[in-house]
Every structure is written in structure tokens, then in C-alpha cells.
Chains A and B, each alone.
Chain A
Amino acid sequence: MDRLRSPRDLVSGTALLALSVLYYVAASDLPAAEGEPGPAFLPKLLAAALFSLAATIVVGGLRGCEREAAAAPVAQPLLAIALTLAYAYAYGVAGFFPATLGYTFALAAVFGVRSARRLVGIAVATTVFIFAALGWGLGIPL
């Protein structure tokens, strides 16, 4: 019988294995305590648990018994992530209005809006609505 593998489980399981090792190493630097398990006990226990679970997932990935559905495209999500990160930076530098106008304009384009007029409309309407509802309505400093 063909052995079909689950690449996603292999990748994620391996990442979790690495994380558990790093977490354990960091926990080992924590001091012991008198009369109780101390601050390192639970982290070490969690690291061991994560290591076991990650190993299970990796083994399951090697034995994978079903073809994985094709992964959803990653380019658009990466673009959305980059835009959101840029928004977080720009918010602190340029302020609420310019940052929000630019972000909503660009994000609407990522989600398929092509008409320039609609893009501007979405950006302006969203920014004004958020300002009115939160900044002015709830008095939250933006």
C-alpha cells in the first residue's frame, strides 16, 4: 500500500519539537525554590509534554494516511500580514488618519476591489466611521 505523507504535520511537528527544546533550555536557567516545585517545574513539564505531542504529530505525518487537500494560496495572506504590520508601525509614526486610510485602501485591494473610486470610498468611509464611533462616540484617544 502506498504510504502517503502529511508534509504539514511533518513541518509543524518539527517546529514544535524545536520549540519544546528551546523552551526546556530556557526553563533550566530558572532558579530552584525551597519547599515547593519552583518556577521551573511547570515549564519543564510543559516542554516534555510538547515534545511528546510533537513527536506523535511527526510520526503521524510520516505515516499519513490521506492525501492532504491542496494548501490555500499563501501570497495573499502574506500580503495582508505585511500590510497589517506596516499599519501598526505607521500608526505610531503618522497617526490614526493617514495610517488607517492607507491600510484600508490597500487591504480592500488585496480582497479584490479594483475600482479606484471604490477603494477610496472604502478607505474614507471606514476611517471616518471608526473615528466617529470610537474616537468621538466612546471618547477613546486614537
Chain B
Amino acid sequence: MSAGVFLHLAGGVVLGLLVGAIPGLTATLAIALLLPFTFTLPPVEALLMLTGIYVGGIYGGSITAITVRIPGAPANTMTLLDGHAMARAGRTEEALGLATFSSFVGGIGGGVVLVAFAPQLARLALRFQSPETFSLIVLALVAVASVSQGSFAKGLASTVLGLMLSTVGLDQLVPVGRFTLDLPELLVGVPLLPVVIGLFALAELFAQAGEPPPRTTVAAPIAWRSVLDFVPTARRVGAKLFVKSAAIGAFVGALPGGGAAMAAFLAYTEAKRSSSEPERFGTGIPEGIVAPETANNAMTGGAFVPMLAFGIPGDAVTAVILGGLLIQGLTPGPLLFREAGLVMTPLFVGYFLAYGLVLVLGLALLPGFARLATIDRAYLLPFVGAVALVAAYASERTRFAMLLTVAVGVFGFGLRRFGYPLVPVLLGLLLGRPLEANFRRSLVVSDNGAWIFLASPISAVLLAAALVFALHACRRRRLDERGRRAANSPRA
């Protein structure tokens, strides 16, 4: 790996750490803003910088969760429970050191899964023809909608809205424009970058304008000499919890829609369930930090697996990174792995190096990062707004791109306000064209016979899995609603 490539990776990790450590900013937002500027970079540098931001951002959110009780991202909510309790008991450095080390271990575990499974899955992808690819995309979209916040109907509605956006532009098989509103700029379809920036940067900014500033407790200064206090604690926790949490995280990451928050939640509940003292969780015990932080960082490696092998992103960040890959002209799948020396090998090496940087930089810079949590958002959000519009302009060099970004930002703000998730919209936009192309090609091959989707065993299994996800989501929502009705019903 050349020095230049390493610097891009290191820069991405530092940026991710900074962004993750500031409440209200997320790795998704940072990647969305940076994406247009990676045009100017060679593909490997661009991909590694984005990976660095992802890795740094996932870890960085634990810092504010522990020091000022504000999770940097939903993935760090479980860490907050025991992490902040430890900080209140005067063990801040130990808690932060544990979070850093757990992130490192989880990330390495996720990396092992990535290296072991991504090439194998990519080879499996060679057996996928149009019906199988269509069914896989259906499964991915249903799975993401089923785990999104809010009702399942709203998750599906967001997905459908994204799919509708993907139909804008020239049809893939018949030379006719669809839903272009007579705008020549839309003949090539809705451009990806304005949608990414609008949904994840501007919508966030508009939403924060309506929210009061987060109430932060002033973080106690971190003593640099104490950041290694975690070492004997990590030894006492033992390797078993680390390994189990990493396995949970990597598995969840590989599921479409899995996400870091789900990984952290599942690992925490499993650690509590299997503990001999479950009642101590939430009072400030090391296991309450180790489990979620190991899992949510292992998730990053797992999330890359379906994204690289099939072009199916595992979460919001990998969805945006997938957009970055496509913009660079890199198509996920077996071909990407065939050219391993050009892209995949640097990515795998870079991923492990990124977590090495997280460990070293995280421990070395903890005192500084902890102060970032108290930065007033009034200083940051104007910067975010300006960079968002500059990034939109840089992506297409047209005012139309800027206006479209604002329009999507308003749309995303509206969706958030009414309780609709945003990630399915992006996934619908990204996967809509391949979904339609594979669907229509399948029907051409089968002479318009829908049986083709069930005739292939792989396709049938994938569609059945999509149905199981949908039924499970409906059942879970019905149980939740019954519980809420019982809680809200007036006493007799």
C-alpha cells in the first residue's frame, strides 16, 4: 500500500472519528457530503477514504455516549447504559478504553468474515441469473423495510417511493422517457448524489432546526495516563464475550437492513441473558460496553459482504458507499473480485489497517475527542448546510443539482416528520433499475410466465424468505400495537 493510499485511509478514519464524536453528526452524513469530492480521487483512494470514515464513525459515537450520555449514533445507545454509568462512577478512562479496544476486536472479527466470505459469495453470485437476482433484491428491500423504524407499512411505503424515483428517466428496454416532467436533466434519471445529500445531510439539518439543542453534561477532563486502565478489565471480561459479540455483529451486518443498532442491541441482550448477574447490566459493568461495541464494529465487516458480492447494501452507510462504487465505475459482484489485485486486496488490507488506526488514534486522542461532544451545533450545522450545497454543485456542476438536493432534503424532512424511514428510499432508488431489468428479462425468457420465479430453487427460497420477513414484521407490529392499546386503555 502506497503512502498516498494510506494517507487517504488515515484521513478518512480521523474524519470519521471526529464526526462520530460530535452529537448530531453521523458517518452517513459525512460520507454523503464527501462522496462528490471522491470523484477527483482514484477508485482505491476513494473507497478506502469512505471505508475509513465508516469505521471511524461507528466507533466515534461511543465517546459521547460514555462522556455526556448522548449516543453519537443509534448504534451506541446500548453502550450509553453502562458506559455513562461507569463514567459517573469516575471510571471514564476505563470505559472509553474498553470501548476502543472492543471496537478494534469487533472490527477485526468483521474483517475476517469479510475476507472469508465475500469472495465465496461473489462466486455464488455467478450462478444467479435474472430470476434469482430479482428475488434477492425483493428480499433485500422487504428485509430493510421490515426492520426500519416506524410501522411496516411506512417502511414499505418508503421503499416504494424509492422505487418510483428509480423509474424516472429513459426506460432501459424501450426508448421512452418516464416521469421526467419535461426536464431534460431528468432524462438520465434522478442523479444519485443530490438524493444522498438531500436525504442524509439536508433533511437532518432541517430536522435539527426544529429541535432544542441537546442537553449535555459537562464531560470531566480525561487523564491521558489512565487510558490503559481498561487492560486488566478486558482480561477479566474474557475472550468468549468478545468472540460471541463479534459473531453476532458480523452476522447481523451481512443481513440486508441489519445495521449497527440491531447488532449492538442483540449482542447486549444476549450478553445479559447469558450472564450470571443479569441484574447488574445498566449499572456500569464492563460487559455492558464490550458486547455492543464489539458487535456494532463487527457489523461493518459483515455489511460489506453482500454489498461487494451482490451489490446489496447491508445498511445506510454501505448503501451510500455502494453509490460511491458505482460512480467510480466499479460494479459489485464476481468481476470486482476477479480484478482483486486492483481493488479488493487494497480494500481488505485497508479495512484491517483502519481498525488498527482506530485503536491507536482512539486511545491517543481520547482527551481531545471527548471535548468535541460539547461543541455547539450552531457552529457545525451552517458548515454542514454550506458543504451540502457545494457538494451538490460539485457533483453535477449545475444549479439544477443544487435545487434538486434542496427538494429532496425537504422531501426527506417531511418523511421524517411523518414517521417514514429514509434508508428504504435510498435502497429503492439504488436497486430499482436492476430490479426492473431482471424482472422484465425473466418474463421475456419465460414468455411472460411468472412461474420462472418459482421454478428456480434459489429464487423460490429467496422469495419465501421475503415472505417470512414480511409476515414476521406484520406479526411483531400487531403484538406491539396490542401492547400499546393495553397500556393506553382507560381503567374500568
Contacts and interface: CB of A to CB of B under 8 A. Distances in A.
Interface of A: 1-2, 4, 8-9, 11-12, 16, 23, 26-27, 30-31, 33, 35-39, 41-43, 46, 49-50, 53-54, 56-57, 60, 65-67, 71-77, 79-81, 84-85, 87-89, 91-92, 96, 100, 103-105, 107-108, 110-113, 122-123, 126-127, 129-130, 134, 138-142
Given A43-B164, A88-B402, A112-B378, A142 B390 contact: yes
Given A42-B439, A111-B209, A134-B37, A53 B160 contact: yes
A73 B207 CA distance: 10
Contact of A57 (B157, B173, B440, B489): B157
Mostly, the A contact residues are helix
A16 B179 CA distance: 17
Contacts of A49: 156, 160
Given A16-B157, A50-B164, A104-B383, A30 B178 contact: yes
A107 to B, nearest CB: 4
Interface string B389-413: 1100110010100110110011001
Given A8-B419, A65-B485, A57 B151 contact: yes
Contact of A50 (B160, B174, B402): B160
Given A91-B389, A111-B377, A12 B211 contact: no
Interface residues of B, number: 65
Interface in B123-162: 151, 153-154, 156-157, 160-161
Task: Give 8 closest A-B pairs by Cβ, nearest first.
Answer: A111-B378, A104-B382, A39-B171, A12-B418, A80-B209, A72-B210, A88-B402, A107-B382
B386 A130 contact: yes
Contacts of B274: none
A37 B490 contact: no
B160 A33 contact: no
A77 B207 contact: yes
A10 to B, nearest CB: 10
Interface in B333-392: 377-379, 381-383, 385-387, 389-390
A71 B40 CA distance: 42
A122 B383 CA distance: 9
B213 interface: yes
Contacts of A105: 382
